[in-house]
Chain A
Amino acid sequence: MVTVKEILETMDYGPGTETPAEVRAWLATHGRFGHFIAGAFTASSAVRTVQNPATGAVLAEVARGSAEDIAAALAAARAAQAGWAALPDQARAEALHALARQLQKRASFLAGLATLDTGTPIRESRDPDLAQAVRALQHAAGRAALRGMDHPGRAPHAVTGVVLAPALPLTGLATAIAPVLAAGGTVVVVPAPEAPLTALALAEIFTEAGLPAGVVNTVTGDADTALALAGADLDRLIFAGTTEAGRAARRASAPHGPALSLRLDGSSPVLVFPDADLDAAVEGVVAGWLAGGQLPSAGARLLVAEAVAEPFTARLTARLAKLQVGDPLARGSDIGALVSEAEATRLAALIAATEAEGAQALRPASAPPETGAFVAPTLLLGTAPATPLNATPLRGPVATLMSFRTPAEAVELANASRFGAAASVWSENITLATDIAARLHTATVWINSTAIFDAAAPAGARRDSGFGATGFEAALAPLPPRALPEAATGGLDAAPAPGPGTIPGAVEAAQKAAGWAKMSGHGRARVLQSIAETLSRRRTELAARLHDAGHDPAEVAATVELAVRAAALADAGAGHLAATGAQMQTLLRAEPLGVIGIASQTAQPLLGLAALVLPAIAAGNRVVAIPAEAFPAAATELAQVFASAGLPAGVATFVSGPRDALASVLAGHDEVAALWYCGTPETAARLRADTAASLKPVWCPVPQDWAAAPIRATLAQAQQHKTIWLPYGA
């Protein structure tokens, strides 16, 4: 045994390894897991083994879920949903608080299990993984308690499918399901194939805490199981995984068209400006490798001002040398194992290829263990934006370091990426930092901080990192519209059908009109008000044209009213503050999506077009809109009104022609940020599948009486929130 005297010589920390006896006992009791459906484990048939990635040891055997298993889970979730939603808000809030308490009671068991299952250091399994899971449940409980007051008459999306990524599995699951349960929905969860055990344990713990059977169902399996869930008749799908898996999920879910949130890969930039606290930025890089750098938000591309590149690199190199990589159950391990041997092999190959191209790799002084899915944290110097690694999702503790000369160049380099998860900005200059935050194309921007999450603030995604909201509001279904049949009347002024070649030109014009997004809300409101007034002046003439074409002339008055409201909304708010940590400003900045492609319904040809176009541009988007073939004159008229009201060229471009065919061109255009289609269900399904490559949100409201539709719901589709974290403290 080592003596105090000997330790006084070395001043080592000594061993500090957790022995998760409770976890081992639980695994031994279950041995072979079935799915958790309708409150009980099913018998396990086809099985796959689950390994501890740090040792390769087999932890358990779990079932490989088939389409039948998914159907059974879905049936259980449907059966339980009405009863769950019928509970008073307070009862659901209490149930969520009970779940949070149960998680806290079983904290050491769950953290130990998460660490064995994922290879994440035990400290991170406790905090943030478990801590944020508890926080998500508690926050959702609060939202449940306020539901009737905040959202009277709103029903939830009934059944939500949840596919989880392996990193931080407790937070991942709780963040996805807590708002759903709060709203009154039920869920079917497919955990990551590499790390399914925490999801099974949570399902069991939830039931122990008194959650009714069928509210949370868990089906384990592999990528095929996840796709079976994505293709099921869901109301909503929250899918986390790789970008390629996300594309497959987009295709699989296209026929049923559930409301979709994707959380996919990332390659997040870290921008270090010359006036930054360099030591803080160095710690930020290390802290950003939370959960082994497997989160999409992990800092992967360090962009450092040339003026401080040398001292920053020296400090980071020194810090890197001290990192401890090893046994995730040991308290002193900074970095544990990756989630699987396959991921470790993949990452090691990427690093080796980049070194072979001439990059210099810097690593900690102590080597990682020889067995297990370990990859030493690596800093790669001497890469360029063109180096393939810089365009590849890394999913591990690896970063490249490149320099920039000016803030403009920093933004350019950061935004030159197909991903859009998160970024961190290091500068003590608030004027600079907030400007950079506004210009980055990522859903999260941490200023002088990194890897902070909170249930009260959305962690969104853009570009190939995904799209779609995940909070409480997203768990509520839209109000049922007053649906109208898709009329197929021929109109006058049938325009000659242009070819699909006209779409790229319109998109290009829209891109050039980017100044519209930079205008103040007040400035946009003035233009929209002018549109309303111009429309109003021409109301008699427009009504006559509609009447002659067999449409309701009352559409004109409704369109004027809509324009006035759109003007008011443009000026009504630009986001809000979220209540997160102490000494923290968390801004939820409402931003436009970019260029929205719009295809409008046949009925109400003027109102139906304006009801989509006006809220879209009110939010700062530019649109390329295809009017219904029935009355293309609506577009001609609107275009004239827009021009005389002073709407800048390119902000709204109308392309008349075969609607569904042109919509497909918009679906496949990478510069079109979102697609709105109001037409037939068959075409809607096809368009959703068509966007799998360009990964854009697709909104397909059914043809409806837009005079009865809430314009705020349309505006919500036209905006995305950027979450900007700004810790403060003198």
Chain B
Amino acid sequence: MTQTHPRNPGAPLDPSWFEHVAVNTPAAEARVADLTARRGLTREWQAAWLVNAIRCIDLTTLAGDDTEARVARLCAKARRPLADHILEGLGLEALTTGAVCVYPTMVGAAVRALAGSGIPVASVATGFPAGLMPLPLRLAEIRYAVEEGAAEIDIVITRAHVLRADWSALYDEIAAMREASGAAHMKAILATGELGSLANVYRAAMVAMQAGADFIKTSTGKEAVNATLPVSLTMVRALRDYGARTGARIGFKPAGGLRTAKDALAWQILMREEMGRDWLTPALFRIGASSLLGDIERQLEQHVTGRFASSSRHALA
């Protein structure tokens, strides 16, 4: 990871940081609608922001039919996310995605395929996506992925702890996962689509950060509702508040639900407006996505050639 700042040291569990925080859903919806309407990007600026989105993508495959060959193909795309003529047309020399994200059993294949590229391999773990496995097995899974060479671990939390407001159980679980991750950076997936309310999203985010998460991530991509802008706004405000209390800089990863170039711009505008320029780097911002890259590539080809692009001309992931 290209992280230049210290990792999150964590903090003791302190419910007073989140118990009385109110999140008004219509107001959050109004804010994100206004944000994206008030800040527009055109021409070179839009192209640059789309390129930046690619730098921040965790290019992902998390399917039951994944094979090592399929993972190798994905890694090839991560090394070369844009066709050469598009890259040249943009005046850029090198570009890779932020990371490649796979299941633990695919980490080895991904590490081999990415050798020498500097692209980190992220592994989901802890009984992804539901997380309903005995804790020792979940911790063992983290250790396995790290041993296989994963530099980043995307863990899932036990939603029941949030729904039952059992903050100490949630804290202990995530803290144990952070310990198991060792040197690998830990992203805590909150599975926000299953937490029921924005206030719960805020609380879960704050507990995850107190327990030492380096990143907070919205979704597994397998919930009925994945990343949305109001959920993202809530999580970003939580990490801002955590930062204000501790000085720690926490990253944010929306995942699942970002499919179009327009989505990529909307989320980046949210980060820029709420957090500032630093949160537009892969050290502090990732996008978990599979199909998003294809749409961005089409948009960028159109920017370069002036023609509406066809995906048949672009390399498959």
A: residues with CB less than 8 A from B are 1-5, 7-8, 10-14, 16, 123, 127, 275-280, 283-284, 287, 322, 331-332, 334, 428, 448-449, 583, 727-730
Known: A3-B91, A4-B90. A13 touches B41 (CB 8 A): yes
Q: Which residues 13-36 of B sit at the A interface, judged by CB distance below 8 A? A: 20-31, 34
**Contact assessment for B31 and A13 in the assembled complex, using a CB-CB cutoff below 8 Å:** no
Known: A5-B91, A8-B52, A276-B22. A14 touches B43 (CB 8 A): yes
Q: Which residues 261-285 of B sit at the A interface, judged by CB distance below 8 A? A: 272-273, 277, 280
The residues of A that contact B280 with a CB separation of less than 8 Å are 11
**Contact assessment for A4 and B92 in the assembled complex, using a CB-CB cutoff below 8 Å:** yes
**Distance (whole angstroms) from the CB of A279 to the closest CB of chain B:** 6
Q: Is B38 an interface residue (CB 8 A)?
A: yes
One of A10, A123, A277 near B24 (C-beta < 8 A): A277
**Contact assessment for B26 and A729 in the assembled complex, using a CB-CB cutoff below 8 Å:** yes
Q: Is B247 an interface residue (CB 8 A)?
A: no
Q: Is B308 an interface residue (CB 8 A)?
A: no
**Contact assessment for B91 and A331 in the assembled complex, using a CB-CB cutoff below 8 Å:** no
**Contact assessment for B45 and A13 in the assembled complex, using a CB-CB cutoff below 8 Å:** yes
In the complex formed, the residue of B with least CB distance to A726 is B26
Please tell me the number of chain B residues within 8 Å of chain A, measured between CB atoms: 36
In the complex formed, the residue of B with least CB distance to A448 is B24
Bound CA–CA A13/B20 (angstroms): 36
The residues of A that contact B24 with a CB separation of less than 8 Å are 276-277, 280, 428, 448
Known: A279-B237, A428-B24, A729-B29. A322 touches B49 (CB 8 A): no
In the complex formed, the residue of A with least CB distance to B20 is A275
Bound CA–CA A279/B25 (angstroms): 12
In the complex formed, the residue of B with least CB distance to A8 is B48
The residues of A that contact B260 with a CB separation of less than 8 Å are none
**Contact assessment for A13 and B91 in the assembled complex, using a CB-CB cutoff below 8 Å:** no
**Contact assessment for B48 and A7 in the assembled complex, using a CB-CB cutoff below 8 Å:** yes
**Contact assessment for A449 and B52 in the assembled complex, using a CB-CB cutoff below 8 Å:** no
Known: A4-B91, A12-B45, A331-B38. A728 touches B26 (CB 8 A): yes
**Contact assessment for B40 and A277 in the assembled complex, using a CB-CB cutoff below 8 Å:** no
Offer 20 A-B interface pairs, CB within 8 angstroms, sorted by A: A2-B44, A4-B51, A7-B48, A8-B52, A11-B272, A14-B41, A14-B44, A275-B22, A276-B22, A277-B23, A280-B24, A280-B28, A283-B30, A283-B34, A287-B30, A448-B26, A449-B30, A727-B27, A729-B29, A730-B197
The residues of B that contact A287 with a CB separation of less than 8 Å are 30, 34
**Distance (whole angstroms) from the CB of A131 to the closest CB of chain B:** 12
B: residues with CB less than 8 A from A are 20-31, 34, 37-45, 47-49, 51-52, 90-92, 197, 237, 272-273, 277, 280
The residues of B that contact A332 with a CB separation of less than 8 Å are 38-40
**Distance (whole angstroms) from the CB of B125 to the closest CB of chain A:** 32
The residues of B that contact A583 with a CB separation of less than 8 Å are 26
**Distance (whole angstroms) from the CB of B51 to the closest CB of chain A:** 6
**Contact assessment for A727 and B26 in the assembled complex, using a CB-CB cutoff below 8 Å:** yes
Bound CA–CA A277/B90 (angstroms): 43
Bound CA–CA A278/B240 (angstroms): 14
**Distance (whole angstroms) from the CB of B284 to the closest CB of chain A:** 12
Most buried by B among A8, A10, A123, A284: A8
The residues of A that contact B34 with a CB separation of less than 8 Å are 283, 287
The residues of B that contact A7 with a CB separation of less than 8 Å are 44-45, 48-49
The residues of B that contact A12 with a CB separation of less than 8 Å are 45
The residues of B that contact A13 with a CB separation of less than 8 Å are 39-41, 45
Bound CA–CA A101/B43 (angstroms): 31
**Distance (whole angstroms) from the CB of A17 to the closest CB of chain B:** 10
**Contact assessment for B40 and A16 in the assembled complex, using a CB-CB cutoff below 8 Å:** yes
In the complex formed, the residue of A with least CB distance to B90 is A4
In the complex formed, the residue of A with least CB distance to B37 is A123
Bound CA–CA A322/B275 (angstroms): 11
Bound CA–CA A160/B21 (angstroms): 50
In the complex formed, the residue of B with least CB distance to A275 is B22
Classify the secondary structure of B's interface with A: helix
Bound CA–CA A322/B90 (angstroms): 30
One of A3, A16, A284, A730 near B27 (C-beta < 8 A): A284
Known: A11-B277, A287-B34, A331-B38. A4 touches B44 (CB 8 A): yes
**Contact assessment for B92 and A123 in the assembled complex, using a CB-CB cutoff below 8 Å:** no
Known: A275-B20, A276-B22, A277-B22. A4 touches B27 (CB 8 A): no
Bound CA–CA A728/B34 (angstroms): 18
**Distance (whole angstroms) from the CB of A112 to the closest CB of chain B:** 16
**Distance (whole angstroms) from the CB of B8 to the closest CB of chain A:** 22
Known: A8-B52, A277-B23, A283-B31. A3 touches B38 (CB 8 A): no
In the complex formed, the residue of B with least CB distance to A583 is B26
The residues of A that contact B26 with a CB separation of less than 8 Å are 448-449, 583, 727-729
In the complex formed, the residue of B with least CB distance to A322 is B273
Known: A334-B38, A730-B197. A5 touches B45 (CB 8 A): no
**Contact assessment for A729 and B48 in the assembled complex, using a CB-CB cutoff below 8 Å:** no
The residues of B that contact A449 with a CB separation of less than 8 Å are 26-27, 30
**Distance (whole angstroms) from the CB of A212 to the closest CB of chain B:** 37
**Contact assessment for B52 and A280 in the assembled complex, using a CB-CB cutoff below 8 Å:** no
In the complex formed, the residue of B with least CB distance to A284 is B27
**Distance (whole angstroms) from the CB of A289 to the closest CB of chain B:** 13
Bound CA–CA A129/B30 (angstroms): 17
**Contact assessment for B92 and A280 in the assembled complex, using a CB-CB cutoff below 8 Å:** no
In the complex formed, the residue of A with least CB distance to B197 is A730
**Contact assessment for B27 and A14 in the assembled complex, using a CB-CB cutoff below 8 Å:** no
The residues of A that contact B37 with a CB separation of less than 8 Å are 123, 127
Bound CA–CA A249/B30 (angstroms): 38
**Contact assessment for A428 and B22 in the assembled complex, using a CB-CB cutoff below 8 Å:** yes
Bound CA–CA A7/B49 (angstroms): 8
The residues of B that contact A730 with a CB separation of less than 8 Å are 25, 197
In the complex formed, the residue of B with least CB distance to A274 is B20
A5-B91, A331-B39, A727-B26 given; 5 more Cβ-contact pairs under 8 Å? A8-B51, A14-B43, A14-B44, A287-B34, A730-B25
Bound CA–CA A36/B144 (angstroms): 80
**Distance (whole angstroms) from the CB of A569 to the closest CB of chain B:** 35
The residues of A that contact B237 with a CB separation of less than 8 Å are 279
**Contact assessment for A280 and B48 in the assembled complex, using a CB-CB cutoff below 8 Å:** no
The residues of A that contact B47 with a CB separation of less than 8 Å are 4
Most buried by B among A3, A4, A277, A729: A4
**Contact assessment for B44 and A448 in the assembled complex, using a CB-CB cutoff below 8 Å:** no
The residues of B that contact A3 with a CB separation of less than 8 Å are 44, 91
**Contact assessment for A448 and B39 in the assembled complex, using a CB-CB cutoff below 8 Å:** no
Closest 5 CB pairs of A and B: A280-B27, A14-B45, A7-B48, A727-B26, A277-B24
In the complex formed, the residue of B with least CB distance to A584 is B26
In the complex formed, the residue of B with least CB distance to A3 is B91
